[in-house]
Structure 1
Amino acid sequence: MIRHKEFLASDFEEVKELIKESLDPNGIIVNDSSYELFQYGGKKIRPTFTLLVGRLGDRRLHDDVIRAGASLELIHMASLVHDDIIDDSKLRRGQDTVYYEHGYLQAVNTGNYLLSTSLELVSTIEHEKLHDAFSAAMKDIVSGELFQFDQQFNAEQTLDDYYKKIYRKTALLIELSIEMGAYAARVTDEELDSLLRYGYHIGMSFQIIDDCLDFTGDEKNLGKPKFSDLENGHYTLPVLLLRDSDPLFKEKLSAFREDRSIRDSLIGELLSSDAIRESIRISGGHIEEAKVAIKDIDEPIRTYLLQIAEKLANRLN
């Protein structure tokens, strides 16, 4: 069976070359750091959605789809740089972060450079709805980063607060990836509606699984230290579920802002509870909803989207 990476191999080469050309690595820290971040790897999940959805539309608009895919990867990279500043992170994908290696100002400039390069690429695509969707999403992504910062070490945040955070952090960008590919290739409104429902549920599931892996994964695959979400006061779904079911754990979580020495106790209680298992169940529900959403999408794109859903669902196995 052909996998989506093989199906899109030539498209990804075009995206890679366009990003290299746009970032222009030339010895300047901001340019070189930006391109190094791209080379470190990652799943490239966002341009994957853009390129797949673009195959449903007008192939004569292929160059616009490539530009859209490259722009989405650049936005994602920028969000990682800014996240590393917020979290005071030393490692990203096993490498020193821009923030740790070059300092605060260079990291801010690198993130902004990636965003401005993304905007430059998008500006060459002639489609009013695409530009409207892009600008609205940028506003929501930035406000999401600020909201995440405001919620650090907040033991009283609600589950709705958490879902709002992960929507803006992950699901929104996956939805935008789909929307950009659809507009760039002039996909029908009916197909776009189905694909956006798929993108929402895939994005929510993806982030919930990431949040579980912060407790159960290994650092080599994570590309960052284990337990870093809790360490940085980002209370994810397993933590909030246990908080709501265990009053003693809730008391400890409230004390954690001032007393970081109880970190290991919090982790031990969480790992011995059912909170991670329940989080995985919730993630699985989103995967099933995603599959249903694309039941009428044309082949082979439907099959490739289902493959991605299955792969994401199995990351914890």
Structure 2
Amino acid sequence: MKTVKQYLASDFEAVGDIIKENLDPNDILVNAKSYELFRSGGKKIRPTFTLLVGRLGETGRYPDVLKASASLELIHMATLVHDDIIDNSRLRRGRSTVYYEHGYLQAINTGNYLLSTSLSIVSTIEHKALHEAFSQAIREIVDGEIFQLDHQFNSSQTLDDYYTKIYRKTALLIELSIKMGAYAANVEEHILDGLLVYGYHIGMSFQIIDDCLDFIGNEKTLGKPKFSDLENGHYTLPVLMLRDEDPDFSSKLHAFDGSREKLDEMIADLLASDAIERSIAISNTYIDKARTAIENIDEPIRTYLMEIAEKLSNRLN
């Protein structure tokens, strides 16, 4: 059986053509940097969901599925550019970020350009529910970025705050990817319901694993410096779990002022604890629920969705 990458190879080529045509890389810096970001790689997981779900619907509607897939990748790219500004990131996928290389204004313009291009592509799909889901999700994504910024260096935030952040940052966009593929191809509603449950749990697991990799991952694989979340005041699940159980660590977190010495102390405490291991266990419960949600999905799509779940759960190995 083909891998999911092989199964969707021709579809991704078509999606790439749509993106290239709409970004129109030329001598304008914003256009060129936007296209460079697309070509730099990434997992392309969100358009993968759109394309797979689209295969469950009407074949004649598949050109709209390709457009929806392209728009989702552009939205994701826009959020990455804006995240790099919030995080003051130097690297993205192993390359200098637009923000670090060209400054705040060019990064804002690049993110906005990617967003507006995505909207332009979506506007060519005739489907009211798709447009409504897309516009609502964009608003929630922006709300999520504001929420994340408001909670930066907030050592008193709750676990519920954390789960709200990762839903808006990751799970929401995966849910949207599934909705876009389903709406574009007129997938039956009862099938979509199970897929959305899958998407929510995959998204939550995906972000928790990302947050753990910030501590124990390989910088070359991550494409960014390790420990950057903690350094930038984005307190993730392992940090909050240890804070709630270790008074000494809690005191250090509340007193954290961005200094390297205090950062190194907290990193050492985290790596010596079982907080990362327990966070991974929580991620695995989400993966298990995602698997259960797609038991009745037609083949080969079910197998490919299960393949994605397995790959996500094994990223730490």
Q: TM class, shorter-chain normalised?
A: over 0.9
Q: Report the 3-state secondary structure (helix = DSSP H, G, I; strand = E; otherwise coil) of the residue aligned with 1:257.
A: coil
Aligned to 2:115: 115
Q: CA deviation at 1:258?
A: 6.0
Equivalent positions of 1:103-252 (< 5 A) are 103-252=103-252
Percent pairwise identity: 72
After superposition, give the CA deviation of every residue in 1:171-197 in whole Å (9 maximum; x if it has no partner). 000000000000000000001100000
Q: How many residues align?
A: 317
- Distance in 2, Cα, partners of 1:217 & 1:79: 22
- What is the Cα-based RMSD across aligned positions, in Å? 0.7
1:41 aligns with 2:41: yes
For the 8 Å contact 2:212–2:276, the answer to whether it is kept is: yes
Tell me, which stretches of 5 or more residues in structure 2 are unaligned? none
- Distance in 1, Cα, partners of 2:163 & 2:11: 33
After superposition, give the CA deviation of every residue in 1:242-272 in whole Å (9 maximum; x if it has no partner). 0011011000000003655300000000001
Letter in 2 for 1:268: A
Letter in 2 for 1:247: P
Normalised TM-score (structure 2):
0.99
- Distance in 2, Cα, partners of 1:125 & 1:223: 34
After superposition, give the CA deviation of every residue in 1:157-180 in whole Å (9 maximum; x if it has no partner). 000000000000000000000000
- Distance in 2, Cα, partners of 1:216 & 1:222: 10
Letter in 1 for 2:291: K
Runs of 4+ in 1 over 2 A off after TM superposition: 257-261
Q: Report the 3-state secondary structure (helix = DSSP H, G, I; strand = E; otherwise coil) of the residue aligned with 2:42.
A: coil
Aligned to 2:301: 301
Tell me, which stretches of 5 or more residues in structure 1 are unaligned? none
- Distance in 2, Cα, partners of 1:25 & 1:231: 35
For the 8 Å contact 2:231–2:258, the answer to whether it is kept is: no
Q: CA deviation at 1:56?
A: 0.1
Normalised TM-score (structure 1):
0.99
- Distance in 2, Cα, partners of 1:75 & 1:99: 17
Letter in 2 for 1:255: A
After superposition, give the CA deviation of every residue in 1:55-94 in whole Å (9 maximum; x if it has no partner). 0000101110000000000000000000000011111001
Q: Report the 3-state secondary structure (helix = DSSP H, G, I; strand = E; otherwise coil) of the residue aligned with 1:298.
A: coil
Equivalent positions of 1:6-155 (< 5 A) are 6-155=6-155
